[in-house]
Structure 1
Amino acid sequence: MARKTMLLGISLAGMLLAGAAAPDDPLLRPIAPDHARQWLTPQAPARLYGGTYLVGFGGLSVALIRTRAGLILIDGAVPQAVPDIEAHIRALGFSIRDVKLILSTEPHCDHAGGLAALARDSGAQVVASAPAAAVLRQGGGDPDDPQAAWLDPFPAVRDVRAVRDGAVIRLGEVAVTAHATPGHTLGSMSWSWSACEGKACRTIVFASSLNPIAADGWRFADPAHRRFVDAFRATFAKVKAMPCDMLISAHPDPGDADRLARLARARTPHPFEDPGACRRYAARAQAALTKKLAS
């Protein structure tokens, strides 16, 4: 009888524990859930080329670079995406604690919302442009941002290393170059590196968002906003001129899902190899800006 009572007590305790709410983690509280449902379309982690992997989602890119000295992560999606990003890293045979550097493309919640949690869980150093670092440290809230009226705050990233345009960030044998690509935000940064399979090396570019989008009532044609237009035009020229064998855009291209499916079947010819991808990416954004200015 005593044994039955003890087993019943254990069973009830287990049921209570299973039904208990998970502890609240302020760094993982969901942001923009309606948009996030579109951004966080499930996508299996995949090796892109050499030591470069995709660990993000159908609507938000997150990249991982393997080096002999640890891992480099690029972008962090929204806070509620962090458990999936970490699960994708584990599925590839790595640990979040292997991540030594986290590179940021822009200080918006959809790309930077998960950075604080990822930095905490990994112990990694977050790296961004100086303008972006200032916004990351305060968790958003840049009043000059064209989308300021729409933007959600996100968990502040306290420890951010600011780097300049052209800076080279090294970890192990891998060198990642920072490319200031302002316009979408004044702190936007793209990143490029070389990945190799045997003696065949390719330049991969993780490009920041170039979309000239703004909140209602904010006009690129307003003379007071000329610096954003000038920044965009300089960025378009820079991205078109970049060495770029493979492109990872901050929000994946609609054709990327098909490319990943083809990559799972065969790696030759490589579905993502396209030396014209960066030029077309910049040209589409340039056309969108031209249309906005005309309207």
Structure 2
Amino acid sequence: MKKFALTSLIAIAVTGVTHADRGWSDPQEPFTIYGNTHYVGTAGIAAVLITSPEGHVLIDGATEQGAKVIASNIRALGYNIEDVKYILSSHSHVDHAGGIAALQKWSGATVLGGAGNVDALRTGISPKHDPQFGGLPNFPGAENVHAIADGETVTLGSMVVTAHTTPGHTPGGISWTWQSCEDNDCKSVVFADSISAVSAKRYRFSEHPDVVASLQQSFAKVENLPCDILIAAHPQLNDLWGRQQRANTEGKSAYVDTGACRLLVEKARRGLAERLSAEKQSISAP
């Protein structure tokens, strides 16, 4: 197993607004989820900082405007953006990768993503075989971008973050896992890439069986990951804001849910089935 080392749509109870009001670039106060795992993303797009004495790992960059929110949140937690050694990408769409170029410039970090998304991360342009090609705007391309494969790890001291290929939503989607500990109580944390069957207007999943197969493989991958704490790329998909509110009274146990990954997959699997059914009905309609 190759290692990259330092040397080389639910109501939001906590605020009383709906997820539609929580924009991709809107500010969000940072907070610690568990151990060295911290939420530094925007109100509508997840980004996570994993800290260590040897440097930090940032997962996802939100939008170009959201990058400023993330950098500010890192500083608010008492860390330096210059100490971020790796920026890990879940997938190469503007809402999750639009801010990576700025964050890479500010930090000097190495950017890692799935092989199928590397060109998009470098250019800011989705490939034509991306289901959402033509439906989302381009974004600034990042420098120092490299591919990471299924099962490869990113290491900083004792921190180990593992890549799990979860394509379908994009050609090179990656979900990430690691261990976070408090008082010798360690939890398996999952940052789950988007695995939903979402596309540009004229795209038909039924005409792309390879993409359907990729999604189904990603469903199986995510539901079988060790998953004590789930952080979804879109935080409302796992009621992160409701969990944050409950954590005020319940403590960190509010974030722990060993069934969360399976539930996320159930929703995505149901969504794909409904999409394929709707496409079939549209063909058979007179």
Q: Structure 1 length normalisation: TM-score?
A: 0.84
For 1:114 and 1:42, the matched residues in 2 are separated by 14
For 2:266 and 2:273, the matched residues in 1 are separated by 10
For 2:175 and 2:47, the matched residues in 1 are separated by 13
Q: C-alpha offsets along residues 139-161 of structure 1, whole Å, 9 cap, x if unaligned?
A: 12311111112121111112112
1:271 counterpart SS class? helix
CA positional deviation for 1:262: 2.1
Q: C-alpha offsets along residues 107-142 of structure 1, whole Å, 9 cap, x if unaligned?
A: 111100000100000111111111111211121231
CA positional deviation for 1:266: 4.1
Q: C-alpha offsets along residues 217-247 of structure 1, whole Å, 9 cap, x if unaligned?
A: 111111xx11100000111011111100000
For 1:172 and 1:146, the matched residues in 2 are separated by 38
1:260 alignment partner, one of 212, 228, 244: 244
CA positional deviation for 1:283: 1.0
Equivalent residue for 1:239?
A: 222
Q: Would you say the 8 A contact 1:59–1:251 is kept in 2?
A: yes
For 2:155 and 2:21, the matched residues in 1 are separated by 32
Q: Would you say the 8 A contact 2:25–2:69 is kept in 1?
A: no
CA positional deviation for 1:253: 2.3
For 2:250 and 2:28, the matched residues in 1 are separated by 18
1:290 aligns with 2:273: yes
1:63 aligns with 2:63: no
Equivalent residue for 1:125?
A: 110
Equivalent residue for 1:152?
A: 137
1:280 alignment partner, one of 263, 272, 276: 263
Higher relative contact order (CA 8 A, sep 6+): 2
For 2:74 and 2:46, the matched residues in 1 are separated by 14
1:209 aligns with 2:189: no
For 1:264 and 1:91, the matched residues in 2 are separated by 19
Amino acid at match of 1:238: K
For 1:131 and 1:110, the matched residues in 2 are separated by 18
For 1:36 and 1:188, the matched residues in 2 are separated by 27
Q: Would you say the 8 A contact 2:126–2:138 is kept in 1?
A: yes
1:113 aligns with 2:83: no
1:259 counterpart SS class? helix
1:83 aligns with 2:68: yes
Matched positions, count: 258
2:170 alignment partner, one of 175, 185, 194: 185
Q: Structure 2 matches for 1:24-43, cutoff 5 A? A: 38-43=23-28
Alignment CA distance shift 1:114-1:36 (3 Å)? farther
Amino acid at match of 1:260: Q
CA positional deviation for 1:38: 2.1
Q: C-alpha offsets along residues 10-67 of structure 1, whole Å, 9 cap, x if unaligned?
A: xxxxxxxxxxxxxxxxxxxxxxxxx996223432100000000000123100000011
1:38 counterpart SS class? coil
2:210 alignment partner, one of 209, 223, 227: 227
For 2:26 and 2:100, the matched residues in 1 are separated by 19
CA positional deviation for 1:187: 0.6
Alignment CA distance shift 1:154-1:36 (3 Å)? farther
2:188 counterpart SS class? strand
For 2:126 and 2:233, the matched residues in 1 are separated by 21
1:60 counterpart SS class? coil
1:142 alignment partner, one of 123, 127, 137: 127
For 1:53 and 1:102, the matched residues in 2 are separated by 14
For 2:126 and 2:275, the matched residues in 1 are separated by 25
Q: Would you say the 8 A contact 1:109–1:140 is kept in 2?
A: no
For 2:248 and 2:76, the matched residues in 1 are separated by 16
1:249 aligns with 2:232: yes
Amino acid at match of 2:144: D
2:155 counterpart SS class? strand
For 2:58 and 2:164, the matched residues in 1 are separated by 16
Computed over aligned residues only, the root mean square deviation of the Cα atoms, in angstroms, reads: 1.5
Q: Percentage identity across aligned positions?
A: 42
Q: Would you say the 8 A contact 1:82–1:118 is kept in 2?
A: yes
